Amino acid sequence: MMNIKKSLRIGLLKCDSFVPDIKNKFGDIDTQFKNLLNSNTKSMDIDLSVFEVANDQFPSKEECLDRQKFQGFIISGSKSSVNDDKDWIKKLKEYIRFFSENNVKTIGVCFGHQAIATALGGKVSLNPKGWTVSDYRIDYINDSNFDKENPLVFNDIVKQQQKQQQQSSSSSSHLNIICINKEIVTDIPKDFKIFAKNERSDNQAMYFKNQFYSFQGHPEYTPELIKATILSRRGIIPDDVIEDGVNRANNSNIDKSTFANGMIDFFVEK
């Protein structure tokens, strides 16, 4: 029987661009998200429309509410801080509040994760542990009430590990994700749930009903991309952190298709 592909239309609110050397080698931020989403194993075609919001290029609010045009939005990472006093960041947060009021599905990644938090009443601060870069494990927080709502990334992992957990004392389901950040969400918006943490931060991922879903890390990054990125930031990121990050990237254990599948589940489930 022929496998007929379905289509998903997503808007990417692109909050930055890579420096020319990185862009020339790997493509820009939108290329990373296209590659990530196209790694899905759900026979889903992805139509990704890119909006350069850092250049004040936003979709119209009418477009945002048209479910035939967009099934949801992704907010990308950025070298900017969500606490910066920039007009486009203020406008982005206003859009996030508009999304909240109108039940527009939204995924946030790194800066996007933090923008969602601050737009909706949370707080972002410097991480006292300093920079977090490259491949890190994140652990699923087991919450039986949340589990009933969660259609996301960890579902397959939880199912795969249930048998192992029944036979061992371990109750941790986990994934690896690539990170590059020195700020973290320290207070979450009302009624949000944190569903992943690690040694670097108690909030590595958060979720609100079936509307907001966000990661502190970068599921779209590859090990080679993060190596090139951190090496380009010598003088900004400490040398010992860069060295550790390169080592982590060389031994990376990320599974992009699992993240892609979870993101697609989020957008398609009612």
Average pLDDT for the chain: 89
Assign 270 a pLDDT band (cuts: 50, 70, 90).
low
3-state SS of 139-205 is EECCCHHHHCCCCCCHHHHHHHHHHHHHCCCCCCCEEEEEEEECEEEEECCCCCEEEEECCCCCCCE
Assign 248 a pLDDT band (cuts: 50, 70, 90).
very high
Q: What is the pLDDT of residues 116-174, one digit of tens each?
A: 999 999 999 999 999 999 999 998 876 545 555 554 555 555 555 444 444 444 445 78
Whole-model pTM?
A: 0.90
Query: Buried b vs exposed e over 202-219: b needs ≥16 C-beta within 10 Å?
Result: ebbbbbbebebbbbbbbb
List C-alpha distances in Å: 49 to 58, 59, 180, 214. 11, 10, 25, 19
Domains of the chain listed by start with CATH number: 6-268 (3.40.50.880)
